[in-house]
Amino acid sequence: MRDHVEHDPLRTDPAALEDLRRRLRATRWPDAPEDAGWSAGVDVGWLRDLVAYWADGFDWPAREAARNRLPRFRVHLDGLGVHVVHARAVPGAGPALPLLLCHGWPDSGWRYERLVPLLTDPGAHGADPADAFDVVVPDMPGFGFSDTPRGAPLDSVGVAGLWARLMSALGYERFGVSGGDLGSHVARYLALDHADRVVAVHRTDAGLPVWAGDPADLSDAERTWFADVAAWGAAEGAYAAVHRTKPQTVGVGLTDSPAGLAAWVGEKMRAWGGGDEPFTPDDLLTNITGYWLTGTIASSMRMYRANAAIPPAQLARRVEVPSGFTLFGEDILRPPRAWLERTAHVVHVGEPPRGGHFAAFEQPEVYAAELRDLLRPFRVNGVPNV
């Protein structure tokens, strides 16, 4: 089947929302140790409040209508439907540089929706109109509103190849790319395997470190970071171990119970975001409801299992495409400059004090400014030099 593109606004059957509310009201709650708070996982009291609001206060149709203000399409790539926001620069903004934004887990293209208007119409947001972008924000296969592959899940290498194909289908041969979390891996492999098409790559992390050499060859800062990553994994990494090994087991419960889904996703969003309460209940539930309505929590977790099988030689490759990093001050596992230089051709490092793991949603103005600064040299007199 040839690649083709069609409009794809979000549409929810009211019966699906009624079923969701029924399940929420029938939640069977666990007990919790007195004063446990967040020490053993999700705070059950916090979750009870969120579930009650989800059942009787949250207005998904209004959120859906707001999300549909962005231009949404389905791109069919050999029968696999990819849901994508494709927003072109506003008329009069000048020639636009194409920019692909790659999300991670536990989210979807939702991560970047606040960012899109700042990039397509910079002049309306206090920036130079010459910094305009055509923005492409796809949901990865098995995430959000994209199809789930019928066979084995795609790993980050496979998604990078699919996104190269997607950009061709949308008419872009050369482009910039940005990503965080799993999207950072995808952006990295785009730069590695499609270097002739990526003008520059921007990432908000460097992934988990892999080093097969002599530890003595690492800097003190790198060795300290490796130790910090190991300690974080021991304290916080149980979710990833489940995703890598037995995602289907927990996937049964999370696909059947919206309260369970809210616990699994909401706890991570709260823990990884910046500040004490990085998201409003409406923000949390917009992301979580997307997972519920599409039934994609299990398929999204399976990508961890696929990535765990990527050969070590792939993980050791150095990115030679010009690379920029923005290490937000409230994010987890912030790598030292020495590791960035070891693994990539670094041309820009920003370190904003505020912003966590979902910085494009939490601090969109800062994120947009970082992208403009990194990618401006790839324009000549305002025209993309691609």
CA distance 262 to 284: 9
Residue 2's pLDDT is: 55
Does the annotation count 282 as an active-site position? no
What confidence score (pLDDT) does residue 379 get?
A: 86
Mind listing the pLDDT tens digit for each residue in 282-313?
999 999 999 999 999 999 999 999 999 999 99
Average pLDDT for the chain:
96
Taking residues 343-352, what's their average pLDDT?
A: 98
Q: What is the mean pLDDT of residues 145-159?
A: 95
Catalytic residue among 112, 189, 304, 367: 304
Average pLDDT over residues 344-363: 98
> Is the four-CA dihedral 281, 202, 185, 85 of positive or negative sign?
positive
| Active-site residue (options: 131, 172, 357, 367) | 357
Question: Is 148 in a helix, a strand, or coil?
Answer: coil
pLDDT in tens, 87-121: 999 988 778 999 999 999 999 999 999 999 999 99
In this prediction, residue 297 carries a pLDDT of 98
Domain boundaries, the chain: 4-384
The one-letter amino acid code at 188 reads R
pTM of the model: 0.97
- For residue 98, give every residue at least 6 positions away whose Cβ sits within 8 Å of its Cβ, in sequence order, or none: 133, 134, 136, 167, 172, 174, 175, 176, 384, 386
Which residue of the set 134, 181, 283, 331 is catalytic? Answer: 181
Return the CATH number of the domain spanning residue range 4-384: 3.40.50.1820
pLDDT computed for residue 382 by the predictor: 58
Confidence band for 380, pLDDT divided at 50, 70 and 90:
low
Q: Is 348 a catalytic residue?
A: no
Q: Is 357 part of the annotated catalytic residue set?
A: yes
How many whole angstroms separate alpha carbon 182 and alpha carbon 184?
5
